Structure 1
């Protein structure tokens, strides 16, 4: 082979190597971008779920406050009924 033949082979191998490196870097960066987007989507879903849980807890707290008020009223009535029954005996 002549010197020019070796130069062409080395050039082709070098260009092929550079192409492989460039493609690898592009694929690596695209994968990192996809992972970042997936993490952001997951974080958004967690944030939405947490906000829903907080809102649901507030509704439950209000319901429990109402139930406690009614229970206190029932206890008061029951005590008065017990007192009346004791007076009747």
Structure 2
């Protein structure tokens, strides 16, 4: 159930992350960024800080999505 929750939260997190970082992306890219960011950020944040619950998952999802956007812009977009 935890992964399904992160995927659902990831859709919202992707939207927030793309708006915070001023990235214009289509809906599929936004949701993909959010889901991947949620999975990465949610797991890392929960493991490192030993936090549980909705707040930790959502904060981790937004942070993970923002890191994923930064990595994409830094390393892949200019190729």
After TM superposition, the score normalised by the length of structure 1 is 0.28
Q: Which has the bigger relative contact order, CA under 8 A and spacing at least 6?
A: 2
TM-score (norm 2): 0.32
Structure with bigger helix share is 1
